[in-house]
Amino acid sequence: MKRKTVYFAALTMSVAVLTAGCSIGGKNIRITTGLSDSDLFKIDGSKFSVSDALMYLTTEKNVYEESFGTDIWDKSIGDTTFENYVKDSVKDRCARIKTLNLLAKEKKLQLSEAEKEKAANASQKYFSALSEEEKTYLGVTDADVTKAYEEYLLANKVYEEIVKGINPEISDADAKVIRVQSIYQKTYMMDNEGNRIEYTQEEKQEAKKNIDGALEQIKNGSDFVEIATKNTDAGQIEYQFGKGEMIEEFEKVAFALKEGEVSDVIETPDGYYIIKCISDYLAEETQKNKEAMVLKAKNEAFRQVYDPFVNELSSEFNDKAWEKIRLADMTNIKVDDFFACIEN
Confidence tier at 344 by pLDDT (50, 70, 90): low
Q: Is residue 162 part of a domain?
A: yes
Q: Is residue 4 part of a domain?
A: no
Banded pLDDT at 36 (limits 50, 70, 90): confident
Q: Per the domain annotation, does 244 fall within a domain?
A: yes
Q: Is residue 339 part of a domain?
A: yes
Percent of the chain whose predicted confidence (pLDDT) is above 70: 90
| H-helix segments, the chain | 50-68, 82-106, 113-128, 132-138, 142-163, 172-175, 201-219, 224-231, 248-256, 283-310, 319-323, 338-343
- State residue 226's pLDDT score: 97
Bridge partners, residue 315, by sequence: 43
Last-in-domain residue among 253, 281, 309: 281
Can you give the pLDDT at residue 247? 95
Are 146 and 230 contained in the same domain? no
Residues 59 and 156 in one domain: yes
Residue 62: the pLDDT is: 93
pLDDT at 178 over 60: yes
Buried b (16+ CB within 10 A) or exposed e, 250-260: bbebbbebeee
- Lowest-pLDDT choice from 12-26, 170-184, 261-275, 323-337: 12-26
What does the alpha-carbon distance between residue 147 and residue 81 come to, in Å, rounded to a whole number?
A: 31
Nearest Cα residue to 321 out of 65, 25, 43, 34: 34
What percentage of the chain exceeds 90 in pLDDT?
A: 81
Mean pLDDT of 152-166: 95
> Is the pLDDT score of 23 beyond 80?
no
Which residues touch 131 (CB under 8 Å, ≥6 apart)?
332
CATH code where residue 231 lies: 3.10.50.40
Residue 75: inside a domain:
yes
50-68 helix and 142-163 helix, angle to the nearest 10 degrees? 80
pLDDT of residue 336: 86
Q: How many CB atoms lie within 10 A of CB 38?
A: 13
pLDDT at 37: 87
Which pLDDT belongs to residue 21? 30
Distance CA 271, CA 157 (A): 49
Over 80: is that where the pLDDT of 7 sits? no
Range of 247's domain? Answer: 177-281
Here the CATH number for the domain that contains residue 123 is 1.10.4030
Task: Kindly report, residue by residue over 99-137, the tens digit of the pLDDT.
Answer: 999 999 999 999 999 999 999 999 999 999 999 999 999
Instruction: Label residue 300 by pLDDT band (50, 70, 90).
Output: very high
Write down the pLDDT at residue 343.
80
Residues 6+ apart with CB under 8 A from 262: 215, 218, 219, 224, 274, 275, 276, 277
Rounded Cα gap, residues 233 and 274, in angstroms = 12
Q: What residues pair up with 181 in beta bridges, in sequence order?
A: 238, 276
Tell me the average pLDDT across 226-254.
96
Residue 334 lies in a domain: yes
- What predicted TM-score, i.e. pTM, was given to this entire model? 0.76
